[in-house]
């Protein structure tokens, strides 16, 4: 079974236990921290079904653990009649979904994302991956879940840093969309609820369904990420993904304004939105041209020409440029 469309059904359900209960044969891949924090609600749904606890660290999203998960499926005699149910953040759903996509050439897949970022980003759009030989998400597949079940109550135990990661992606999609959701997010600081999650999912889903295999339109979702990646690398990953993306959004806003793609009013609104969601971080690490160049060059997506997503007055657009041009722009604005 090769799932070649963005055909995932997204269900908002606080009574998620009933949905899981109704799945006849299943195996679970569960984030260990989430399991330990929520034993009272997780253990009852397991019944006697097999479950694999995964230690969700970025360094563990690797081939050794993928083999371990596949071996677990084999040992438990999982077959294609089973649903693979992944419960956890993006790390767990990425590796669990990848395992589901290749075990017996593909099994049914249900995701219960438990982080804000997992709900609005990692579980949406059908990308699965592990990190391979030092390159992030370099091995994976396009494989949409049959169902994504969203229970925002899971987020009550999420640490603040993880919330920031989610808000950075949420603000990013609102800025890409540029429509009602942006107006709503900009009006006042919204509390994180099902409305926010469902709007952010809709925008990502809409972009992904126009470009399921990431050939063109999906590039827009890289807004803030090229610069964000530079910040992550130069800080030796001591600056989180969300903070790095937020800094990236600010730097891209600076470039877009300086190059005349956005008015002062749009530029100010972008900065105000970042500030409203406490995402106005400052880049503090020293960087020079050669470091930025090397990091951009290592990125598998950048060949001689690279695509930098810039702001336009209403949305965003992809600007093709040489690596040298991109580095010069980023170096000039990185301390904005």
Ligand X SMILES: NC(=O)c1ccc[n+]([C@@H]2O[C@H](COP(=O)([O-])OP(=O)(O)OC[C@H]3O[C@@H](n4cnc5c(N)ncnc54)[C@H](O)[C@@H]3O)[C@@H](O)[C@H]2O)c1
- The residues that touch ligand X, with contacts defined as CB under 6 A, are 31, 33-34, 37, 56, 58, 61, 88-92, 94, 114-115, 117-118, 121-122, 125, 127, 137, 154-155, 157-158, 162, 165
Specify whether the CB–CB gap between 27 and 20 falls below 8 A: no
Q: Which is nearer to ligand X, 148 or 329 (CB)?
A: 148
**Shortest Å, Cβ 37 to ligand X:** 5
Q: Which is nearer to ligand X, 201 or 329 (CB)?
A: 201
* Distance of alpha carbon 49 from alpha carbon 27, whole angstroms: 6
* Distance of alpha carbon 164 from alpha carbon 158, whole angstroms: 10
Q: Which is nearer to ligand X, 91 or 310 (CB)?
A: 91
**Shortest Å, Cβ 253 to ligand X:** 21
**Shortest Å, Cβ 289 to ligand X:** 27
**Shortest Å, Cβ 85 to ligand X:** 15
> What are residue 12's DSSP bridge partners?
150
DSSP output for 62-131: SHHHHHHHHHHHHHTT--TTSEEEEEESHHHHHHHHHHHHHGGG--EEEEEE-SHHIIIIITSSSEEEEE
Residues contacting 208, CB < 8 A, separation 6+: 6, 124, 125, 126, 218
The SS3 call for residue 54 is: strand
Alpha helices by DSSP H, listed for 158-288, are 160-177, 180-187, 194-210, 225-234, 241-258, 264-276
**Shortest Å, Cβ 81 to ligand X:** 26
Strand order across the beta sheet in which 83-88 lies: 9-12, 147-150, 108-113, 83-88, 26-31, 51-54
**Shortest Å, Cβ 207 to ligand X:** 12
**Shortest Å, Cβ 31 to ligand X:** 5
Q: Which is nearer to ligand X, 115 or 226 (CB)?
A: 115
Residues contacting 159, CB < 8 A, separation 6+: none
Q: Which is nearer to ligand X, 242 or 254 (CB)?
A: 242
Q: Which is nearer to ligand X, 14 or 332 (CB)?
A: 14
Q: Which is nearer to ligand X, 102 or 328 (CB)?
A: 102
- The two three-digit tokens of residue 33, written as one number: 């921290």
297, 306, 333 from 24: Cα distances, Å? 48, 47, 55
């Amino acid at each position: 079974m090769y799932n070649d469309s963005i055909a995932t059904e997204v269900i908002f359900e606080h009574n998620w236990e009933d949905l899981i209960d109704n799945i006849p044969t299943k195996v679970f891949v569960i984030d260990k921290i989430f399991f330990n924090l929520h034993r009272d609600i997780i253990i009852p749904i397991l019944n006697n079904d097999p479950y694999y606890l995964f230690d969700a660290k970025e360094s563990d999203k690797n081939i050794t653990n993928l083999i371990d998960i596949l071996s677990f499926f084999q040992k438990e005699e999982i077959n294609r009649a089973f649903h693979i149910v992944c419960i956890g953040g993006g790390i767990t759903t990425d590796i669990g979904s990848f395992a589901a996509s290749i075990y017996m050439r593909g099994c049914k897949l249900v995701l219960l994302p438990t982080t804000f970022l997992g709900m609005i980003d990692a579980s949406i759009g059908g990308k699965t991956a592990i990190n391979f030989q030092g390159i992030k998400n370099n091995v994976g597949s396009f494989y949409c879940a049959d169902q994504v079940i969203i229970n925002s109550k899971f987020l009550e135990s999420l640490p603040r840093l993880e919330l920031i990661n989610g808000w950075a992606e949420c603000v990013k999609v609102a800025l890409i969309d540029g429509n009602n959701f942006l107006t709503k997010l900009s009006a006042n600081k919204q509390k994180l609820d099902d409305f926010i999650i469902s709007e952010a999912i809709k925008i990502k889903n809409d972009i992904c369904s126009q470009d399921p295999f990431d050939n063109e339109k999906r590039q827009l979702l890289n807004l803030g990420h090229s610069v964000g990646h530079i910040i992550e690398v130069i800080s030796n990953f001591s600056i989180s993904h969300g903070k790095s993306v937020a800094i990236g959004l600010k730097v891209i806003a600076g470039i877009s304004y300086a190059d005349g793609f956005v008015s002062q009013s749009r530029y100010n609104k972008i900065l105000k939105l970042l500030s409203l969601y406490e995402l106005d971080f400052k880049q503090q690490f020293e960087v020079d041209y050669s470091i930025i160049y090397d990091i951009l060059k290592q990125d598998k997506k950048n060949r001689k020409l690279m695509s930098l997503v810039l702001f336009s007055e209403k949305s965003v657009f992809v600007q093709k440029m040489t690596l040298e041009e991109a580095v010069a722009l980023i170096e000039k604005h990185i301390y904005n």
